[in-house]
Amino acid sequence: MYSILIQIILLIGIFLFGITLMRIGIKGLTFQKLESITPKLSPVNGLWLGLGLTMILQSSSASIALLITFLATLKVSFPFAIFYLIGANIGTTFTAQLFVWNETHLMFLCLIIGLICLFIPKPKFMLTGAIAFGLGVIFSALNGFENLVYLIPPDRLDMAINAEYNSPLSLSIFGMFFTMIIQSSTVATGVLMSFSHDGSIPLIQIYYVLIGANIGTCFTVYLVSISQPLKARITAYAHIWMNVIGALIAFPLFVGQPIVEMAKWLSNIPEQQVVWIAVLYNIFTGIIFIVFMKPFIQFLKYVHRYKENEAGTKDYK
């Protein structure tokens, strides 16, 4: 079992390396255009901007950090920020969808094309090569995770799945701390997809791990916000509260089970079912915060003593 644990750690490292390569390539190709974005700051535009930037950057944490760092200099309203966060949470599932398309021939194709482009001394080719090679590295790590499942003795796997400590709360706590350590809910989702390849892990257990992973991803955003002006921190606080409150609302089995059943209805492929669970969960919680937008904004202002001074500028008291 110790050798399997070491292999898991190595594969997570390879996975993170692939994600990093993709982000470097995508950021290099698009960042100048992203910096020049001056959106009309309506809430709906916030939703689409959060969704689009997260799909481009392959990370909700990165896109929210982007909002905190350079979009925070604009007069961003609370509704815009909340819609942006909803879009970012949904957009991060796009990367997980890429993992569903994992196939050995596609893996080698990405690795070969990426490697060739990396040796062409032109910035655009090198950045494109980083994206392709990074995706190939991710696919190779996912294949490694899938093969690890078959190395675990069936009796040990059954024992772990049916253990008494596999309560919804413990699974969510595990998902939260695992994501805080690796700083990527995308990687956590990818690992779950690999281990659910043969359907051996119940989807309801994966559902609760994903709930925890959503909370764990807030840690990175909070770290980014610490060094920012006080007015920018409200975005990080809102992100934390949205994921925590959303998890509490979606935690009861009578909420989680219908989401899992709908994911099964939408696809009979285990990996795709995991993606659908993440998508449906984020859409469900997003709708709740859209419906209760005003009470949530009042809650944020009250908890964090957010006031508007006489000059009309916002600050924390």
* Widest pairwise Cα distance in the chain: 68
Rounded CA separation 42/270 (Å): 38
CA distance 7 to 10: 5
pTM confidence score: 0.73
Q: Residues 214-264: pLDDT tens digits?
A: 898 888 777 767 766 666 777 788 889 999 999 999 999 889 999 999 999
Lowest model confidence (mean pLDDT) among 30-34, 65-69, 178-182 = 30-34
According to the model, what pLDDT value does residue 290 have? 93
pLDDT of residue 53: 78
**What mean pLDDT, rounded, does the chain reach?**
78
By the 8 A CB rule, do 178 and 187 touch? no
